[in-house]
Amino acid sequence: MQIQHAEADLAEVRLHYVTAGEGPAVLLLHGWPQSWRMWEAIIPGLAARYRVVAPDLRGLGDSSRPEGGYDKKTVANDVWRLMSEVLGERSFFLVGHDWGGPTAFSLAAQHRDAVKRVAIFDAPVPGDGSPVFHAGRWHHGFHWEDGLAEALTTGREDTYLRFFYRTFGGSPDCVPEAAQQDYIRAYSQPGAMTAGFAYYRAMRQDIADNEAMLARDGKLRMPVLCYGGPLGRGRGMGAIESWRRVAEDVRGGIAEGCGHWIPEERPGWATAQLLEFFGETPG
């Protein structure tokens, strides 16, 4: 199994992405402060049966960093164009973690006939009707502070980001060191931290967009699989409870032994859950 790197020029943004395998398409959406590499241990298992696509989201990883467009409706449109216009995939399975989760919701809500099934790791949905989206997440408020967050983290990316890798999981070393080094490399590039903070600063727009889509079209009807981590700073049952507010068919629960970084903490287990879930759908 060989992972292939490519870039898609979508005019406003250039997306770096990787692909592997053949078959029905699976789109993997990473979160902050990560990149496509968070799926590295999962891709081989999926690629044995599927065509796997894992992009670096707008502004993150090795994708370009436009000044705007970090609301999840726009980010979702980026990856929709990658799948439909560049790769010719009109239907696919969808997986998201952290900010990849709200992006996955927006993509599924806008393209309900194209998204076959959705799998989510430790991520709720902004605008789900719950007032506790930020519970235990002090960094949300910090990242909203335009200019201040940059001033206090520039040149200290290694120290700042390693705090999250060390404390948000079930154990201090649950995110592989090689992955941490690559994340820090990517987020130390000019404008990368600002782009990451922009995902948080777009929250109010995300809430308004999601509330409007739910009011207009109702809950998602495709099956959803959602797991939250009970350890570290994982969201536990809060993740699946959020998705049950916005989707009709939600299964999953707790990823035992994990914190927030589930796909990197238990990649074999996560891969097995995805294969079983996607395997229920012919083709």
Active site residues: 98, 200, 260
Distance CA 281, CA 283 (A): 6
- Collapse the DSSP code of 258 into the 3-class scheme (helix H, G, I; strand E, B; otherwise coil) and give the result: coil
Distance CA 206, CA 70 (A): 9
Cβ(258)–Cβ(230) below 8 Å: yes
| Strand stretches in 56-160, DSSP E | 92-97, 115-121
Planar angle of CA 139, 149, 141, nearest 5 degrees: 35
Cβ(82)–Cβ(8) below 8 Å: yes
Distance CA 277, CA 273 (A): 6
Of 161, 172, 183, which is closest to residue 38 (Cα–Cα)? 183
Of 65, 49, 73, 58, which is closest to residue 17 (Cα–Cα)? 58
Cβ(129)–Cβ(62) below 8 Å: no
Bridge partner residues of 92 (DSSP): 25, 115
Of 195, 160, 174, which is closest to residue 262 (Cα–Cα)? 174
Tokens at 282, concatenated: 């012919």
Distance CA 193, CA 267 (A): 27
Tokens at 73, concatenated: 């409706």
